[in-house]
Amino acid sequence: MKKLIFTALTVMILLSGCTSDKASIIFNKHPISEKNIYDYSNIFTVGRRIYYVVLIPEKVQSRYIYIQVIKKDNDYGRLGYNLVMTRNVRLKDEEVNYYTDYIVLNEKGYYIMKVYSKDKPQKVLTSAEFYVSPN
């Protein structure tokens, strides 16, 4: 009987985990719209615009987010890091749950974009990886 109760409690705990929407970043080669939001990519060409949208399901109270683009030192995504870009962004009234913009990178390599909230600057809201190739 004790084994059955323990098994039932374990299954209940594992299956009743809370799920919530998480922040995310979507990259695209073209300006992001409702028609092409599902045509995302993570491989881009040097010197071309990299469009992105940061989706934030939970409201950021201060309305400020910090965006960092970090480059790994080699093409394989290992070893050192270089901070390429940082941006402080104030979310507009109509952009409380998302932010969209583009960047242009002129060096090939493996990059990581991280987004932080001013409310909790030590916690990463979301991050995404992408590549910039010479061709």
Whole-number pLDDT of residue 105: 94
pLDDT at residue 45 is higher than 90: yes
Q: What is the pTM of this model?
A: 0.79
Q: What is the percentage of the chain residues whose pLDDT exceeds 90? A: 44
Rounded distance, CA 36 to CA 55, Å? 15
Q: Which domains does the chain have, with CATH numbers?
A: 20-133 (2.60.40.1930)
